[in-house]
Amino acid sequence: MSKKKVIIDEQRCKGCQICIVQCKRGVLKLGNKINKLGYRYVEVNKIEDCTACGICAEMCPDVVIEVWKE
């Protein structure tokens, strides 16, 4: 299995949860911490399930996700 990276800019995530719903692998989840903008932000939960398909990043309206793979 190759390595993947899903980088979420937590200070800019607005917690809209679109990425969470779009990720069919259930990799992402909403955290409990609040960022500077005042939102609960998304965290990577199970990176091992990620296929680096990039859909979460594509669908994020605030363009705060980066996806990398080996």
List interacting residues with ligand SF4 (CB under 6 A): 6, 8, 13-19, 22-23, 25, 27-28, 42, 50-56, 60, 62, 64-65, 67
> Which of other proteins, ligand SF4, none has residue 25 at its interface (CB below 5 to 8 Å by kind)?
ligand SF4
Q: Residue 56 and residue 30: Cα distance in Å, rounded? A: 13
Binders of other proteins in range 18-47 (CB under 8 A): 18, 21-22, 37-39
The DSSP result for 9-33, as a single string, is: -TTT-----HHHHH-TT--EEEEEE
Which positions touch other proteins (CB under 8 A)? 3, 5, 12, 14-18, 21-22, 37-39, 52-55, 57-63, 65-70
